[in-house]
Amino acid sequence: MTFDIDFVRAQFPAFETPALAGQAFFENAGGSYTCRQVVDRLTRFYTERKVQPYAPYEASRLAGAEMDEARRRLAAMLGVETDELSFGPSTTANTYVLAQAFAGMLGDGDAIVVTDQDHEANSGPWRRLADRGIEVREWQVNRETGSLETAALEALLDDRVRLVCFPHCSNVLGEINDVAAICRIAHAAGAVACVDGVSYVPHGLPDVGALGADIYLFSAYKTYGPHQGIMTIRRELGERLPNQAHHFNGDTLYKRFTPAGPDHAQVAACAGIADYVDALHHHHGGGEAPPRARAAAVSKLMRAQEIALLQPILDDLKDRNAVRLLGPADAARRAPTVALALEVAGEEMAARLAPHNVMAGGGDFYAQRPLAAVGVDPAHGVLRLSFVHYTSAAEVERAMSALDQLL
């Protein structure tokens, strides 16, 4: 069955509300619209289950069961064990806690690798380990293309390197990195790999188990869900890293790196992301299949739709004199997160698009290091037009013709 955009958009209340009517949304990489399944679960939790979970009375039992369901179903879709998946307030908070854990495990003589392609969330907390005597090595992008090349990583690795942190996809350059290959290189050198999947997962739930990422992070609020950070940690590593939670929670793998009490309602509502994936699978003719296979089939559908809309945009933008397109011009190699360096500052161009009913963002998107690395002044910033599978061809047409007029 071909991708049914009407069905897809019907799953998002934002497309039906008068408050947003006529607005074309192009800041999805900042935070996506929320699917109906998540909104419904959140509403049900707040109205029917807003009690302390995991107690013996019925409302509480249901609250706890829904929180467990979210972990179980998302873990199965990502190809990891249920207790290898945990929730935190955001990806930034999750990497902060993980960095504290690594600080407790590593010491003098140890080294880690970070990139200059990452959003600050998977960079700054790790770089601060230098204050604890850990050597921090920077895997730098190619200054011309913005790509992370594996030869440059290999040149940084030796038996002192214990951890390699890198993005699945940059939030300004858009390029999709070969996570499996990079994890293999890190593992061969005796290091573990921490992958920021925030800019990738809205475009398809990956098989984290098969990719080989020891830690994989993403943000539910950019993946059609509530404002939560989700991370997977491979059991062996999670058990080895020092516990960051209350001492009595240290024996439970999924609690070890969540020092904050969980946001019960939002954790429970994350099961709605799995509902949404299942609804797309079912509607597009998917039969009986295990969760990971359903997620893979839906990811393929989403990507095909995005690539079909993205390639003409890239073809249009790549040769314009007034525009510098960041990242690859081949849609298959990147996410539809399109950052443009223009004569006008990024924020100013976003403001000029607003009267055309195009909701876009401008600035540095907390990606100051990658922007500077490819020669864009972060203070000047970029215009970012980011979309996902639910974006329609008409919305793309609106954004491109508005941009055309303004240029």
Ligand X SMILES: Cc1ncc(COP(=O)(O)O)c(C=O)c1O
Binding site for ligand X (CB under 6 A): 90-92, 119, 121-122, 167, 171, 196, 198-199, 219, 229, 366
- 229-233 vs 215-219, strand pairing mode: antiparallel
Least gap, CB of 196 to ligand X (angstroms): 5
58-78 vs 271-283: helix axis angle to the nearest 10? Answer: 60
Contacts by residues 58-66 (CB-CB < 8 Å, ≥ 24 positions apart): 63/264, 63/268, 66/41, 66/268, 66/271
Q: What sections of 233-318 are H helices per DSSP?
A: 235-240, 264-269, 271-283, 291-318
Least gap, CB of 228 to ligand X (angstroms): 8
Nearer CB in complex with ligand X: 115/171 = 171
Nearer CB in complex with ligand X: 100/171 = 171
Nearer CB in complex with ligand X: 198/297 = 198
Cβ–Cβ under 8 Å, residues 318 and 324 = no
Least gap, CB of 115 to ligand X (angstroms): 11
| Side chain identity, residue 166 | F
Nearer CB in complex with ligand X: 122/391 = 122
What number of CA atoms fall less than 13 Å from residue 166's CA on the CB side? 30
Least gap, CB of 47 to ligand X (angstroms): 26
Q: What sections of 205-270 are H helices per DSSP?
A: 208-211, 235-240, 264-269
Least gap, CB of 227 to ligand X (angstroms): 8
Q: Give the whole-angstrom CA distance, residue 277 versus residue 297.
A: 9
In the bound state, the residue with its beta carbon closest to ligand X is 92
Nearer CB in complex with ligand X: 89/209 = 89
Provide the token pair at 337. 């997160």
Least gap, CB of 176 to ligand X (angstroms): 12
Q: What residues contact residue 14 under an 8 Å CB cut-off, 6+ apart?
A: 20, 25, 33, 34
Q: 397 to each of 27, 141, 352, 391, how far by Cα in Å?
A: 16, 32, 17, 11
Least gap, CB of 144 to ligand X (angstroms): 22
Least gap, CB of 96 to ligand X (angstroms): 9
Nearer CB in complex with ligand X: 192/367 = 367
Nearer CB in complex with ligand X: 14/173 = 173
- Sheet strands side by side (includes 361-363): 323-325, 337-342, 382-386, 361-363
Map tokens 């609020």 to a residue.
221
